[in-house]
Amino acid sequence: MIAPGATIGIIGGGQLGRMLALAAAPLGFKVHVFDPHASPCAADVAASFTRAAFDDVVALERFASACDVVTYEFENLPVGPLANIADKLRPGTASLAIAQDRCAEKSFVEEAGGRPASWRKVDGPADIAAAVEALGLPLVLKTRRDGYDGKGQAWLRSADDVERVWQELGGRPLVAEKAIDFEAEFSVVLARGEDGALAFFESTRNIHEDGILRRSELPAGALIEAQVAEARRQAGAIAERLCHIGVLTVEFFACADGPLVNEIAPRVHNSGHWTIEGAATSQFAQHIRAITGLPLGSTALRATRVTMDNLIGDEIDRWPELAADLDAALHLYGKGAARPGRKMGHVTRLG
């Protein structure tokens, strides 16, 4: 067990790192952020900050030697440079390596007994044509690596557009996925402790717009509620097979014939932000507990109705009105420029 007073290293300095740091403080931990940017928003609430590239092996080793345990809040990190700090890293590099390659991820999900949407590996336009043959149209094409918030994705609606879509996505390795006619989306946010204990948060209904999470809400509705047990079985099996320590999120499509895995995030997740106010232990506190070897906290609900709305781009300009709303728990990430599509904050309401 890593006792309070120790220092937790967080690789990645975005809003997830910021909320992890804020959750580490009440447990008496200090946080050291590692990020290549000049002033990442997590560094504003951390005791120490190392500014270095994610593949700077020397800086990573120096950083790790100043920390008692190291975690990450961002999955598109190069895995190779982490080899020398692997003994301090929780979760380990297996979770990272699997989650950052959509093909490796889908194969892994299948091996773990999970059910992803039908997919094909794509290394060129001929593979796209073969995927159209096998899966039908429309198809969604996603870059195998580096996608987030719906970036690096394109829909293929006509076989005439194969070449255009291949170019549009930069001629990079892709995965082709069957278009899923889902009824709803939800995720399983779980924590796995060092001893293998699993704790599951309630599953919200997740509403996306243009590939980006707009809102999470509870109750999630009868269809999702009926599928949560099976989804937890799949997500738990994935966590176990990864020997994952910490919070892990698995996104699901709720379909008429049961849940389909969309993707894995080896970390705290936007669809779990509501737990800060809505659960006895937040996903952030739970992650800190898991990686330090503390007992996992209670995931009990504090309210029966919860909504979490993201503040995306210039929606952040509504902050004065939201700050005056007595029913709104306002979270601003301190990120600076409100570029379109950028997650700037969120608002949670319990009712």
Per-residue mark of binding to ligand ATP, 215-254 (x: CB under 6 A): ------------------------------------x---
Give me the residues that bind Mg ion (CB under 5 A), please.
Answer: 251
HSE-up (13 A, CA, CB side) for residue 10: 35
Secondary structure of residue 219 in the 3-state scheme: coil
Residues 85 to 114 in contact with ligand ATP, rule: CB under 6 A: none
- Residues 278, 310: contact at Cβ < 8 Å? no
- When asked if residue 117 is in the footprint of ligand ATP (CB under 6 A), the reply is yes
> Least distance in Å: CB of 119 to ligand ATP?
8
Given the complex with ligand ATP, which of 136 and 196 has the nearer CB atom? 136
Given the complex with ligand ATP, which of 227 and 292 has the nearer CB atom? 227
- When asked if residue 162 is in the footprint of ligand ATP (CB under 6 A), the reply is no
Strands 184-192 and 205-209: antiparallel
> What is the signed CA dihedral for 20, 24, 26, 27, rounded to 10 degrees?
140
Amino acid at 100: Q
- When asked if residue 263 is in the footprint of ligand ATP (CB under 6 A), the reply is yes
- Cα separation of 131 and 271, whole Å? 31
- Residues 331, 348: contact at Cβ < 8 Å? yes
Look-up: residue for tokens 């995927």?
131
> Least distance in Å: CB of 211 to Mg ion?
8
One residue of 149, 161, 225, 230 binding ligand ATP per CB under 6 A: 149
- Cα separation of 141 and 80, whole Å? 27
Residues 168 to 187 in contact with ligand ATP, rule: CB under 6 A: 177, 179-180, 185
Select the binding partner of residue 147 from ligand ATP, Mg ion, none (C-beta < 5 to 8 A, by kind). ligand ATP
Given the complex with ligand ATP, which of 180 and 316 has the nearer CB atom? 180
> Least distance in Å: CB of 180 to ligand ATP?
4
In total, the chain counts a number of residues equal to 351
Q: How many CB atoms lie within 10 A of CB 226?
A: 12
Given the complex with Mg ion, which of 68 and 75 has the nearer CB atom? 75
One residue of 211, 221, 258, 297 binding ligand ATP per CB under 6 A: 211
Q: How many CB atoms lie within 10 A of CB 123?
A: 12
- When asked if residue 155 is in the footprint of ligand ATP (CB under 6 A), the reply is no
> Least distance in Å: CB of 140 to Mg ion?
12
Give per-residue burial for 233-270: e unless 16+ CB within 10 Å, then b. ebbbbbbebbebbbbbbbbbbbbeeebbbbbbbbbbbb
Residue ranges that bind ligand ATP, judged by CB under 6 A: 117, 140, 142, 147-151, 177, 179-180, 185, 208, 211-213, 251, 262-263
